[in-house]
Structure 1
Amino acid sequence: MKYLSHMNIKKTSYLALALAFSHTAGARDVTSSYLLDDLGEQTSIATRTKLNIDYAPGTISILHSDDLISHGARTVWEALALVPGFEMSMDETGNRQVLVRGVGRTYSSGNIKLLLNDVALNSELLSLANPLLNMPVEQVDRIEVMRGPGSVMYGESAYMGVVNVITRKQGQRVFAALGDKGAAAGGGVLALSDAERQFGMSLNVAGWKRDGGGLHAGEDAGYAEGFGALSNAPGLANDKYGYKSALLNLNFKKFSLTAQWLEDGAGDHFGINSYLPPSEQRIVTRQRHRSVEARQLFALSDELQAEFRLGWGDFTRQRDRMFLYPVGMGLDDYTYLNLNYREQRTNAALDVAWEKGRNTWQMGWAFNKIDVEEANSQFNGEPASNWLDLDQKRLISSFTLQDQFRATDALTFTAGLRHDRYNDVGHSTTPRLAAVWQAAPGHVLKVQYAEAFRAPTFYEMRFGNQIKPETIATRELGYTYRQGGGLARVTVFDSALRQQIIFDETSGYSNLSGASSSRGLELELERWLSPALKMDGNLALIRTEDYNTGQPTPGAANRLFNLGMEWHPASEYTVDLRLRHVGPRQREVGDLREKLAGYSTVGLTATAFNFASRGLTLRAGIKNLFNQAVKVPSTIDIYAYPAPNYRDDLPMAEGRAAWVQMTYSF
């Protein structure tokens, strides 16, 4: 059953270093940035209680929308490339992928927890939430990212990290954008509030599309198997994309209601079986997330608070005439697949926070019920049949206990424990222990040990046998130096991964018998070089190893680098130059090709605020300024082993591309 093929990946990484520097005083329009740095940003992603980002346990990044747009990021997926240790990738059918610290390039599962306004979106089918990655940055207020295990607070899927996308809920604004390859986008935010009545409402809508036609594929799997004459390759991939969403938020006193709908669509790109589809430039795969969640906060006393959450959601995945095989390979015509899948989730949770003396206790209970509502497929218009048992369901009960103990004004310990019980894959207990020490003003040291797990997805269970959850244990040591408008941060991590879920073409999914590791160093730097010029960058060095083979895990880079220069020639103008470097990628075991070479791209973005009218912002940019090839590794063809499916690999992004955007705030 070749249409299941993919590249599996395991996990691993590297070492560390330290650094210090001084800052330069800023001009009038950057003084506020200095002030914000001194006050410190707050986040609740690490502990679910608001803490200064520098003093929260774990490794955290916060990406602000206006900064991201100025840097040239157009979607959440592109924005995450700015996070140290995050690598963007793509599978053969165009699904967005995020590799964290060398882990994550699999066909069927995601390794990070994806939340939209604190509501989890990962499906049980694949543990993915592709539409969220395609969300335009204009819809976003900020993106909070925690690198490393997060299961103690977030449960399943928080394996390599947690990403929480917080959307805009204040002000009125509209935007429109145009780009190459028929790209167009638009949307807006409408917000109403009444402080006296403690009422607020916001509606955030957006959509975008791209006609595609910019990705050129070389020889496909048909050539390696002797069917080159039947192939559509070489040729253009079916890389059409589309996205639309509507997000409603209501607040009244201590009650809130969130309703979210987001949907994306994509062409089948290079083919699910690595046979190039006809270049029809049409949407083949559609994925939709819908959710409604109500929250009620109870202030029982000055020291004791509780929050109750009740939610519903569903996930739908449809494939319309997905190309499987070319003419002549078993049939006289193309072979197509139609697929429909829908799962429904209901959830309830109760969180209690109690502050007593130097301790802040958090206790939580959560229940999730996921039902498969539809799962059928048909080939070439034949009668549909169910490929997944419609009686399949997943029941998850979770209990969490965490204590933050302030030993001194400068030293805080955090200890947490979570127990998850599943009806279908057993149970899991995950601990976390962390310490944060402010050694001196501006100098913060962090140390953490945390574990996480990922339960097998419905897809893995359908095409596997007695699969257990995969686990990870990570040790981290971090140092942060912040002064005025300057920042330096270094993080060393060491992860041990066990029971990894891997895929084999002949036997399906199973747990890897051995273990693997991910070790590395992440370095971050921000500094004002002059009153009008800011530099920021980060570097991740990653060393992975599969102990079964002694080789690095395939598909991910061992080196990731970002460097940006932001110039303010005047108070209402900025010019931003970004360099992105991705190192070489390791091949699969048995693939005799050399490592896939790395690439470096440069992006240029110019912004004019209050352009022609107050509140009107004009932005224009060029992605991949020097037209570099950006590719991801192709997999091995099992029928022509060890020949690759695509000998010249898979182009992930078109060449040089221009875009322009206007935003009006009123």
Structure 2
Amino acid sequence: MSARCFDTGLTQQMFLRCSAILSLSLYSAASTAELVNIEQDLFSLSFEDLLNVQVDIASKTNETLSSVPSTMSVFTRKQIQALGVDNAYEVMNFVPGMQSTRGDWVGAVPKEHARGVYLDNGNVLVMINGERVNESSFGKASVYMPYIPIDIIEKIEFIRGPGSALYGSNAFLGVMNIVTSKDRNSLNLLAGSNGRLGVTGQFHKQFNEQTSAFFSFSYDKKDGEKYSQGVRDPLEAVYFEAGLDIEQLELRARYNKTKLDEFLNLAGYSSQNQHTSDNQFLGANYTWFESENLTIDSHVSYTEHAISSAGLIAAFTDIPDFLLGPKWQTTDTKFDTELNYQFNNQWQLVAGLEYAQAEQVEAGVRTTYYDSESELVIVAPEYYQQGIVTVLDFPEFDSLKYTFETYSAYGQVKIPYSDTLTFFVGARYDNVKNIDSKLSPRLAGILVINPQHTLKVQYGESFRTPVTNELFSNDNVTIGNPSLSSEQIKTTELVWHYETDKLQTNTVLFYNELNDFVNVEPYQGNEAFFTFANSFNTQNSGVELDGVWQIDENLRLSGTYTQYFHDPINPSFKRFASLITSYNLFDNWQFNLNVIWRDTVEVTAENGDYFKQSAYSLLGGSIKWQLTDKSHLALKAENLFGKRYDVFDPRVASGAVAGTTEELSLHYQVKF
């Protein structure tokens, strides 16, 4: 079987849509109104604070949503907690231009839909505290880190559109930066339907003015819902994070492990399917110099990504089923130095140098059929291994053991031309040794017409470097193409931002020119049937709307709507929307309800197979009850009414991947 099976059948989202709550049908939310003398974690920021929430991912300068030179969505801790979701990837469903669903390769793993592109190549960069999670074998983050628990998150920032001018490869159609909590002392317990149990602890200690430390952990498990295909979608996830700050030195460590068996893997539903992934991270940051106008710091990090998987390739009646999957490991090492300087005329410069090394150190296979003499996977009764076995030194995958070296330099200047007009000019140059080099420019102009109206014009270019699977796969089905160049996108955006003391809206028109997309092509040779080529060019465009309305001091309503003007790449949602509300009652109750709406997807395949999923809505939310000034209870739900639906994936024979079902969970939090 081809290594490509492990690539494009790869990470499709674990869009857990646990749901339910007895009487959630009245109120709802994802934001929240402010209450006085109540624990801040229960209720949201004031509307003024929400408008002025600080974002720095898009420019590395302190900006608000009205002044930032990118199209952004930001979710604070209170907003995320009110949504009732369990996983950081699920927050994507409330971001204009983004959706998250399951797919064919490990169907419980998140798969992103971003601005009309529904592919598995790692076109969205995922970061945790500014550290990239995407790796070099599959390119995606979610295959190695599919579950990031909500309770450890302080904020999630989304760039909708290009981000390579600051972050390089994979910041192609968007960036998701997950900021975790570092100064909390709390304990969270949960129990829910489908056998769900969980615990999260966060601890912080300030030893003196210069020294502090924190530690966070989370454990979550569930048996999963039973599906008509005869499988469940169980989950077992562990997350640890620790940090130590000593004067100018910051030390960080992180570990996660996620187990997702059964359900769907490599387009086959089977109770024998297996998937385990883990991710280990160590990092240090040192500030060499810091003054009112100048900051210089350096950062070094090391990450290991590992995956152990096997999915149903073929089912037989006379011999045991054929399961296959990767046993792969990659490492990432990065060093960078960054300067941030503000001139006397208020111009601000951010510049940096970066070296990164990404290496695939292990490329084994897990299979139920193997011939040790020929060292090949041969599906015949005499080669059945009495179950899934792991072959670490698998000759067909030897060529995947490759090292990427990337040398990068980036810079950006913020130019306050006047009190009402600001320009951002920046670019990043990435040289991936022996592969490709790319210059990614970014230009933005922000005009404040008056306190209510702001116009932005933005242009950016981004790229995605091919992964080892596309470059070096080598078997009897697919052969890699070492001559591949990077995929590239050019994006132009026009943004109208409107805000008053009770209302904020954004209207975004975008146009994308997508060039050199990597596609599977017939191979003219005897070694394999297919290869890869930069053979796909297209354009897409659309409009994204979002708004927040503070109706009164206790009630808030917000929503999003996305409409593409072109058909998505691979059939996906052409229109989708969300509505989220919050209502505070009696000074100690909060009611939250949200709705995700997706339009019809209808597909007729080349072989005549027909798929149709009518438009549908998914309800969720939470009810929170303040017990004391240090504790509260929350009842959370996703897919409240248990809507049965399918999402389309082109590599599944019928096209249909079962969506997640309802789940209720009860949460107790105490602060100390």
TM-score bracket for this pair, using the shorter chain length: 0.7 to 0.9
- In the other structure, the counterpart of 1:434 is 444
- In the other structure, the counterpart of 1:543 is 565
Name the CA shift for 1:504/1:513 in 2 (closer, same or farther; >3 Å): closer
**In the alignment, residue 283 of structure 2 is paired with which amino acid?**
E
Could you tell which deviates more after superposition, 353-362 or 366-375?
Answer: 353-362
- In the other structure, the counterpart of 1:478 is 495
SS of aligned partner of 2:398: coil
**In the alignment, residue 516 of structure 1 is paired with which amino acid?**
T
Q: Does structure 2 retain, via aligned residues, the 8 Å contact 1:535–1:564?
A: yes
Q: How much has 1:143 moved relative to structure 2?
A: 0.5
SS of aligned partner of 1:587: strand
Q: Does structure 1 retain, via aligned residues, the 8 Å contact 2:322–2:369?
A: no
Q: How much has 1:505 moved relative to structure 2?
A: 8.0
In the alignment, the residues of structure 2 paired with residue 505 and residue 621 of structure 1 have an alpha-carbon distance, to the nearest angstrom, of 49
- In the other structure, the counterpart of 2:430 is 420
Q: How much has 1:486 moved relative to structure 2?
A: 2.0
Q: How much has 1:394 moved relative to structure 2?
A: 0.5
- In the other structure, the counterpart of 2:250 is 256
Q: How does 1:337-416 map to 2 (within 5 A)?
A: 337=324, 339-356=326-343, 357-380=345-368, 382=370, 383=372, 384=391, 385-386=394-395, 387-389=397-399, 391-416=401-426
TM-score, normalization by structure 1: 0.86
1:131-178 per-position Cα deviation (integer Å, ceiling 9, x unaligned)? 545111101011011110000100000001111101111121011112
Indicate yes or no: 2:303 matched with 1:313. Answer: yes
Q: Does structure 1 retain, via aligned residues, the 8 Å contact 2:118–2:570?
A: no
- In the other structure, the counterpart of 1:222 is none
Indicate yes or no: 2:165 matched with 1:152. Answer: yes
Q: Does structure 2 retain, via aligned residues, the 8 Å contact 1:105–1:556?
A: no
1:22-81 per-position Cα deviation (integer Å, ceiling 9, x unaligned)? xxx98758896033146x111111111222221010111111122212121211011221
Name the CA shift for 1:490/1:659 in 2 (closer, same or farther; >3 Å): same
In the alignment, the residues of structure 1 paired with residue 187 and residue 44 of structure 2 have an alpha-carbon distance, to the nearest angstrom, of 28
TM-score, normalization by structure 2: 0.85
Q: Does structure 2 retain, via aligned residues, the 8 Å contact 1:372–1:392?
A: yes
In the alignment, the residues of structure 2 paired with residue 353 and residue 26 of structure 1 have an alpha-carbon distance, to the nearest angstrom, of 35
Q: Does structure 1 retain, via aligned residues, the 8 Å contact 2:136–2:359?
A: no
Indicate yes or no: 2:55 matched with 1:43. Answer: yes
In the alignment, the residues of structure 2 paired with residue 577 and residue 37 of structure 1 have an alpha-carbon distance, to the nearest angstrom, of 19
SS of aligned partner of 2:644: coil
- In the other structure, the counterpart of 2:175 is 162
Q: Does structure 2 retain, via aligned residues, the 8 Å contact 1:557–1:586?
A: no
- In the other structure, the counterpart of 1:457 is 467
Q: How much has 1:8 moved relative to structure 2?
A: 8.8
Q: Does structure 2 retain, via aligned residues, the 8 Å contact 1:112–1:159?
A: yes
Q: Does structure 1 retain, via aligned residues, the 8 Å contact 2:519–2:536?
A: no
- In the other structure, the counterpart of 2:311 is 322
**Percent of aligned pairs with the same residue?**
19
Indicate yes or no: 2:622 matched with 1:605. Answer: yes
In the alignment, the residues of structure 2 paired with residue 206 and residue 31 of structure 1 have an alpha-carbon distance, to the nearest angstrom, of 23
Could you tell which deviates more after superposition, 491-500 or 350-359?
Answer: 350-359
Could you tell which deviates more after superposition, 500-509 or 91-100?
Answer: 500-509
Q: How does 1:583-622 map to 2 (within 5 A)?
A: 583-585=599-601, 587=603, 590=606, 592=608, 593=610, 595-609=612-626, 611=627, 613-622=628-637
Name the CA shift for 1:27/1:186 in 2 (closer, same or farther; >3 Å): closer
Q: How much has 1:586 moved relative to structure 2?
A: 5.1
1:473-492 per-position Cα deviation (integer Å, ceiling 9, x unaligned)? 00011111122232111111
Q: How much has 1:538 moved relative to structure 2?
A: 0.7
- In the other structure, the counterpart of 1:58 is 70
Q: How much has 1:652 moved relative to structure 2?
A: 2.0
Q: Does structure 2 retain, via aligned residues, the 8 Å contact 1:360–1:404?
A: yes
SS of aligned partner of 2:66: coil
SS of aligned partner of 1:313: strand
- In the other structure, the counterpart of 1:578 is 594
1:602-630 per-position Cα deviation (integer Å, ceiling 9, x unaligned)? 11421112x2x431111113322222223
Q: Does structure 1 retain, via aligned residues, the 8 Å contact 2:255–2:280?
A: yes
- In the other structure, the counterpart of 2:103 is 91
- In the other structure, the counterpart of 1:520 is 542
Specify which of 514, 533, 549 is matched with residue 511 of structure 1.
533
Name the CA shift for 1:596/1:553 in 2 (closer, same or farther; >3 Å): farther
Q: How much has 1:198 moved relative to structure 2?
A: 1.9
Name the CA shift for 1:209/1:543 in 2 (closer, same or farther; >3 Å): farther
1:329-377 per-position Cα deviation (integer Å, ceiling 9, x unaligned)? xx72222335321111211101112222232122211001122221111
Q: Does structure 1 retain, via aligned residues, the 8 Å contact 2:145–2:277?
A: no
Q: How much has 1:2 moved relative to structure 2?
A: 6.5
SS of aligned partner of 2:449: strand
Q: How does 1:115-134 map to 2 (within 5 A)?
A: 115-130=127-142, 132-134=145-147
In the alignment, the residues of structure 2 paired with residue 381 and residue 8 of structure 1 have an alpha-carbon distance, to the nearest angstrom, of 21
Q: How much has 1:100 moved relative to structure 2?
A: 1.0
- In the other structure, the counterpart of 2:376 is none
SS of aligned partner of 2:550: strand
SS of aligned partner of 2:60: coil
Q: How much has 1:380 moved relative to structure 2?
A: 2.2
Indicate yes or no: 2:263 matched with 1:269. Answer: yes
Q: How does 1:646-657 map to 2 (within 5 A)?
A: 646=654, 649-654=656-661, 656-657=662-663
In the alignment, the residues of structure 2 paired with residue 391 and residue 71 of structure 1 have an alpha-carbon distance, to the nearest angstrom, of 42
- In the other structure, the counterpart of 1:68 is 80
1:411-462 per-position Cα deviation (integer Å, ceiling 9, x unaligned)? 1101111111112322111111001121111322111000000001112223
Could you tell which deviates more after superposition, 41-50 or 28-37?
Answer: 28-37
SS of aligned partner of 2:535: coil
In the alignment, the residues of structure 1 paired with residue 325 and residue 491 of structure 2 have an alpha-carbon distance, to the nearest angstrom, of 41
SS of aligned partner of 1:628: coil
In the alignment, the residues of structure 1 paired with residue 402 and residue 63 of structure 2 have an alpha-carbon distance, to the nearest angstrom, of 40
1:197-251 per-position Cα deviation (integer Å, ceiling 9, x unaligned)? 32221101102112124332xxxxxxxxxxxxxxxxxx32342222111011111
Name the CA shift for 1:627/1:378 in 2 (closer, same or farther; >3 Å): closer
Q: Does structure 2 retain, via aligned residues, the 8 Å contact 1:211–1:240?
A: yes
C-alpha RMSD over aligned residues = 2.4
Name the CA shift for 1:291/1:147 in 2 (closer, same or farther; >3 Å): same
Q: Does structure 2 retain, via aligned residues, the 8 Å contact 1:358–1:407?
A: no
- In the other structure, the counterpart of 1:285 is 275
Q: How does 1:487-506 map to 2 (within 5 A)?
A: 487-503=504-520
- In the other structure, the counterpart of 1:136 is 149
Name the CA shift for 1:368/1:662 in 2 (closer, same or farther; >3 Å): same
What residue ranges of structure 2 are gaps of 5+ in the alignment?
Answer: 11-32, 373-390, 474-479, 524-528
1:395-422 per-position Cα deviation (integer Å, ceiling 9, x unaligned)? 0000112111110122110111111111
